Chains A and B, each alone.
Chain A
Amino acid sequence: MTWLEDLGGELERAGIHGATRRRIELELADHLACDPSSEARLGSPREVAERFAAELRTTRTRRVAWRSFFALALTAALLVVHARALSPLGSWSAVAGTNATFVSLGGLLLVLCAQIAFVAGVLAIRRKPTDSAEAALVQRRAAVALLAGAGVVAGEIVQAGALEKYLPGWSFALALAGAAVSLAALCACTVWLRSARAVTPAGGPVPGLDRDLPRPLSSHAAAFAVLTGAAVVLVVGVGSVFAENSVAEGATRGLLEAVAFAGCYLLLRRPLAITLDRSPRSA
């Protein structure tokens, strides 16, 4: 087996396929044609393939983190379209029975997933992947953000479906079109995410939330997390008091937000590496 044939196999093994693999092979074939005695100086096919994988890992991971963030920003912007599409309804009091339940469920899904998507998306672009473990982490964060983004779209579709009979045709079509555009952007990101994952080995231990925070906040990650949670609960609670003109409603929603915040933190703290223990490198 020739050096180039070996390289092809090693590139496949490292997760480099298709046009990228073909291009690398052609470039190195040209190199060997220029100097047939340079095989030893190039390094072993495995070393060359691993170096390519390491470079691709970093660039693909950074790219998918930013693209996911923009896809989520688009999804957030299209929530305005969703709200506009539902506006002919006027008052929610006309909606009753099962439809009302689905509208509430859709709304809950939408609010919860939007917050998770925002947090995971911001965390994905905050961490710079310096090694394969951090690249795997950024990819996990992007995956959670995209999944939550899909949850937002699902919430929109559930609401639009439950309200179909109360809305004019154009309005229903507008709601579905907005959801479809968001979903297309999120799906495109999953393709880029897969190509980043292909060149990334399984992740290892990584530093927690302190690594994502700028100084001097990095020394107070636990206080930052608690204050962020309190601020979100306060905004939801006080906002609901004014929106619904009811202190009881504000207190209920604030409490639900607190439970959801704590639950999501406990569930996602390890996959998203937002643990509060201080890492040795930033301590």
Chain B
Amino acid sequence: MRAETLKGHLDALVLATLRESPAHGYAVIEELKRRSGGEFALPEGTVYPVLHRLEAEGLLESSWSSAAGRRRRVYNLTRRGRSALGAQEAEWRRFAAAVEAVLA
């Protein structure tokens, strides 16, 4: 799938990958690929700036942890992020249902 197609939905997709548990950037990218069956293989460098922005907007929080002697930034959904995800999910479902109805 083209990166342009994903652009407007990337925030919701990134938030959704963090719904169950905190994760670092690489794990978020892998989870996006896994859940989409490899369809969302966007340039991996696009995800990190989005993570930073979502954190600046208060939808994510992050902290350093350590893995194999390396420093690793782990992201977690905030309460605001959870409610933003809910709102974006509902909006997407309405949109998808409408598109489906038109295409049918």
Answer whether residue B37 sits at the interface, using C-beta atoms and an 8 A cutoff: no
B43 in complex: contacting residue of A29, A33, A41, A56, CB < 8 Å: A41
Q: Are B52 and A30 in contact (CB under 8 A)?
A: no
What total of chain B residues lie within 8 Å of the partner, measured CB to CB?
Answer: 22
Cβ distance A149 to chain B, nearest Cβ, rounded Å: 25
Cβ distance A47 to chain B, nearest Cβ, rounded Å: 6
Q: Are A29 and B25 in contact (CB under 8 A)?
A: no
A31 in complex: contacting residue of B25, B43, B49, B50, CB < 8 Å: B25
Q: Are B25 and A51 in contact (CB under 8 A)?
A: no
**For window 30-83 of chain B, which residues contact chain A by CB distance below 8 Å?**
41, 43-46, 48-50, 52-53, 56-57, 67-68, 70-73
Instruction: Tell me the bound Cα distance from A43 to B43 in angstroms.
Output: 6
Instruction: Tell me the bound Cα distance from A195 to B44 in angstroms.
Output: 26
CB-defined contacts of B70 to chain A, threshold 8 Å: 26, 29-30, 33
B45 in complex: contacting residue of A23, A30, A42, A59, CB < 8 Å: A42
The verdict on A30 contacting B48 (CB below 8 Å), with A42-B43, A59-B57 known, is no
What per-residue 1/0 map shows which CB atoms of A40-70 lie under 8 Å from chain B? 0111000110011011101100010000000
Answer whether residue B26 sits at the interface, using C-beta atoms and an 8 A cutoff: yes
CB-defined contacts of A35 to chain B, threshold 8 Å: 26
Answer whether residue A38 sits at the interface, using C-beta atoms and an 8 A cutoff: yes
Instruction: Tell me the bound Cα distance from A55 to B52 in angstroms.
Output: 8
The verdict on A55 contacting B72 (CB below 8 Å), with A27-B25, A31-B25 known, is no
Q: Are B73 and A51 in contact (CB under 8 A)?
A: no
Answer whether residue A34 sits at the interface, using C-beta atoms and an 8 A cutoff: yes
Answer whether residue A241 sits at the interface, using C-beta atoms and an 8 A cutoff: no
The verdict on A30 contacting B67 (CB below 8 Å), with A35-B26, A41-B43, A42-B43 known, is yes
Cβ distance A138 to chain B, nearest Cβ, rounded Å: 16
Q: Are B43 and A30 in contact (CB under 8 A)?
A: no
Answer whether residue A230 sits at the interface, using C-beta atoms and an 8 A cutoff: no
Q: Are B49 and A30 in contact (CB under 8 A)?
A: no
The verdict on A34 contacting B45 (CB below 8 Å), with A26-B71, A59-B56 known, is no
Instruction: Tell me the bound Cα distance from A29 to B52 in angstroms.
Output: 16
CB-defined contacts of A23 to chain B, threshold 8 Å: 73
Which residues of A line the B interface, CB within 8 A? 23-24, 26-31, 33-35, 38, 41-43, 47-48, 51-52, 54-56, 58-59, 63
Which residues of B line the A interface, CB within 8 A? 24-26, 29, 41, 43-46, 48-50, 52-53, 56-57, 67-68, 70-73
Closest 7 CB pairs of A and B: A43-B45, A48-B45, A55-B49, A42-B45, A34-B26, A59-B56, A55-B53
Q: List 13 A-B contacts (CB under 8 A).
A: A24-B48, A30-B72, A31-B29, A31-B44, A38-B44, A42-B44, A42-B45, A47-B43, A51-B49, A52-B48, A55-B50, A55-B53, A59-B57
Q: A26-B73, A63-B56 are in contact. List 15 more A-B contacts (CB 8 A).
A: A23-B73, A28-B48, A30-B71, A31-B44, A34-B26, A38-B44, A41-B43, A41-B44, A43-B45, A51-B46, A52-B48, A52-B49, A58-B53, A59-B53, A59-B56
